[in-house]
A and B are shown apart, each in its own frame.
Chain A
Amino acid sequence: MLDSMQGAVELGLLYALMALGVYITFRILDFPDLTVDGSFTTGGAIAAVMISAGYSPWLATVAALGGGLIAGAMTGLLHTKGKINGLLSGILMMIALYSINLRILGRPNVSLLNAETIFASISPIPLMIIIVLCAKLLLDIFLKTDLGLAVRATGDNPRMISSLGANTDYTKMIGISLSNGLVALSGAVVAQQGGFADISMGIGMIVIGLASVIIGEALFGSKTVFQATLAVLLGSIVYRIVVALALRVEWLKTSDLKIITAVIVIIALVFPSVQRAWKQKNLAHKRSVELSGGER
């Protein structure tokens, strides 16, 4: 039990970077970006191929980040300059990345067993805590700069920000690019911790990212940017704990993981709106009773 909890925290931290990326597009830009499923694999593939070719694992990790930034910028270009619907531009890029990822990998999977990864001298949990916190704090700072404020306003009120002189094409591309950079970084650390990169490692990533964002915000709140990014990180860990607990149920198999994820996201999405509607109804009823002078 304790072992599986520790494993869950570790996985949560590894995927937390991806969740931060999804937070940028889904919450800040209000742009449902499906590139994630592809760019996650891109990150893992770049890191695995470079490490097995003998490059420093840190260099490989940074290169993976760069690959994600480029993939995101491409999706941004399709959406802003090509005027393609947001969902569709993400799907198109995801499909295109499948072939690109296969080209990078050269074969469906690349093993990293016996290769030196960033986790060679430090165990995953402490190192990931450092990396994840650095990423979170840098993102917090970025979102408070003039450019970051413009990116946030682009998702909040695009009409206002273009009347105030920001090019929304540019701010969107920055946000989507940054998001996929983080996602690819996550893919790189996941591949190194797992000891392999696989062409299908990114499937369903967007849903896991959404689950982390929604669970985190529901449990830990999102009043300020600082609080929201922290909530997303913790959400990623909570998600892994929930999955670990669910898998202990006897009649569930490992292959049921995707449907468990889907169900968690559905509950997390439906519950708050049902709760709000219920509260509203109760409040309205209470007020009506008050206004009618206490009669029922």
Chain B
Amino acid sequence: MLRITNLYKLFNPGTVDEKTALAGINLHLNAGDFVTVIGSNGAGKSTLMNIISGSMKPDLGDVLIEGQSVSQVPEFRRSRWIGRVFQDPMAGTAPHMTIEENLAIAYKRGQSRSLRFGVTRGKRAMFREQLARLGIGLENRLRAKVGLLSGGERQALSLLMATFTNPRILLLDEHTAALDPARAELITRLTEKIVKDQQLTTLMVTHNMEQAIRLGNRLIMMDKGKIILDIGPERKKTLTVEQLLGEFEQISGHKLTDDRIVFG
């Protein structure tokens, strides 16, 4: 489904600030894989996400979706295959537009936008049905401005907008990191449900070790622009946070450091 070959990305090349964000990433996701990604500060997790989504271009290497190279395809065109939820709850929705208008925009993902009405009666019924799946009462607030929603509600809406058109690949970039624990738990539960119901091929960056182990069928660990550990479904079932930390120290030779990391 998603194949990444020998990906390199440098920042500020040729200057004293040169930094290798990605140093030869190879990754292959099968259809239906749910892969969680953890790693220390500056490991290149976000850069990897940005390159897959097309908001950054790699310096070397290729990204293939269903066997087709998309390196030269701009972000807005790649969105036909890729749904994405950002860390910032404000990033995924338009605050001055209503819930139904936001959904109408997401509904047209990857299609041409014409002069037909964005919100029709038929679509409104469908939006209501989809919002009801979130179970937080948004289905009764179709005409509320999104800016009036709480961070958790906005992130739930972003998640729905990224997924309800069944993208080939779902990218989640620490999408629960900016929320308080209760809301983060709600979004995590919704994510699990949606990914399972729709069998979405998912790549999720997280700073929460416990979550990384609990969710998905595969876990990868990144350090200094490389994938240093790739744990399959069998081992993942019995994995603990301590084992994971130990493994990380052994391979990388230093402790896992991230100012936001949550161990369990």
Contact = CB atoms under 8 A, between A and B. Distances in A.
- Decide if the interface of chain B is mainly helix, strand, loop or mixed: loop
A160 B93 contact: yes
B76 A145 contact: no
Contact of A163 (B53, B101, B104, B108): B53
Given A152-B94, A153-B94, A145 B118 contact: yes
B92 interface: yes
A123 interface: no
A165 B109 CA distance: 5
A261 to B, nearest CB: 27
22 contacts: A142-B115, A144-B118, A145-B115, A146-B104, A146-B113, A146-B116, A146-B118, A149-B118, A150-B113, A153-B102, A156-B97, A160-B92, A160-B93, A160-B94, A162-B55, A162-B79, A163-B79, A164-B79, A164-B106, A164-B108, A165-B79, A165-B111
B196 interface: no
Given A160-B94, A166-B113, A150 B105 contact: yes
Given A152-B94, A153-B97, A156-B97, A164 B105 contact: yes
A164 B76 CA distance: 7
Interface string B44-67: 000000000101000000000000
A254 interface: no
B160 to A, nearest CB: 12
Given A144-B119, A165-B111, A166-B113, A149 B79 contact: no
Nearest to A162: B76
B116 to A, nearest CB: 6
Given A161-B105, A168-B76, A156 B94 contact: yes
A159 interface: yes
B28 interface: no
B114 A159 contact: no
A147 interface: yes
Complex A-B, nearest 6 residue pairs according to Cβ-Cβ distance, in ascending order: A165-B79, A156-B94, A146-B113, A149-B118, A153-B94, A147-B113
Interface string A147-190: 11110110011011111111110000000000000000000000
A145 B105 contact: no
A150 B102 CA distance: 9
Contacts of B94: 152-153, 156-157, 160-161
Contacts of B97: 149, 152-153, 156
A156 B76 CA distance: 17
B91 interface: yes
Interface of B: 53, 55, 74-77, 79-80, 84, 86, 90-97, 101-102, 104-106, 108-111, 113-119, 161
A149 B110 CA distance: 15
A166 B104 CA distance: 13
A166 B92 CA distance: 14
Nearest to A153: B94
A153 B105 contact: yes
Nearest to A170: B76
Interface in A260-281: none
Contacts of A161: 94, 105
A146 B92 contact: no
B122 to A, nearest CB: 14
B8 to A, nearest CB: 24
Interface string A120-146: 000000000000000000000010111
A143 B101 CA distance: 11
Contact of B114 (A147, A152, A165, A166): A147
A232 to B, nearest CB: 16
Contacts of B79: 162-165
A147 B115 contact: yes
B242 to A, nearest CB: 37
Contacts of A150: 105, 108, 113
Given A149-B101, A150-B108, 12 more contacts: A149-B118, A152-B94, A157-B95, A161-B94, A162-B75, A163-B53, A163-B75, A163-B92, A165-B76, A165-B109, A165-B110, A167-B76
B115 to A, nearest CB: 5
Contacts of A164: 79, 105-106, 108-109, 161
A165 B53 CA distance: 11
Contacts of B109: 164-165
Interface string A71-83: 0000000000000
A163 B77 CA distance: 9
A163 B50 CA distance: 11
B80 A165 contact: yes
Contacts of B102: 153
A149 B105 contact: yes
A17 to B, nearest CB: 21
Contacts of B106: 164
A140 B95 CA distance: 19
B76 A144 contact: no
Contacts of B114: 145-147
Contacts of B104: 146, 149
A174 to B, nearest CB: 10
